[in-house]
Amino acid sequence: MKMLSRAEELVLLAVWRLGDEAYGVSVRKHIIRATNEDWSIGAVYVPLDRLTKQGLLRASQGTPTPERGGRSKRFYKLTTRGLEALRHTRRVQDSLWSELPELKLDPEG
């Protein structure tokens, strides 16, 4: 299985965490809160589209709302393949981290 990029991993985790409320803006806000870094709209929507095309996410249109000028939100759900990709990425990361000594600040530099 192909490794996820860090952005793809964060997007998948945000979609999973948000459940029924996972749409582009909510995913972006969640990632910004989690990373304490600004994420552009494109930095979220590009991976959302790519992950949907790869079958790791499923997208569906919500009901149009007056607040959005009659437009509907596009909601995302994690698929079984998406969950498998996250598990694979976590296994690889855990394996690499487990082989390292505890991180300590070196007073020498």
Q: What does pTM read for this prediction? A: 0.86
pLDDT of residue 68: 64
pLDDT of residue 19: 97
22-59 tens-digit pLDDT = 999 999 999 999 999 999 999 999 999 999 999 999 99
The answer to whether 56 touches 1, Cβ cutoff 8 Å, is no
> DSSP H helical segments within the chain, as ranges?
6-18, 24-35, 41-53, 80-98
The dihedrals phi and psi of 50, each to the nearest 5 degrees, come to -65, -45
What domains can be seen in the chain, in order of their start residue? 6-92 (1.10.10.10)
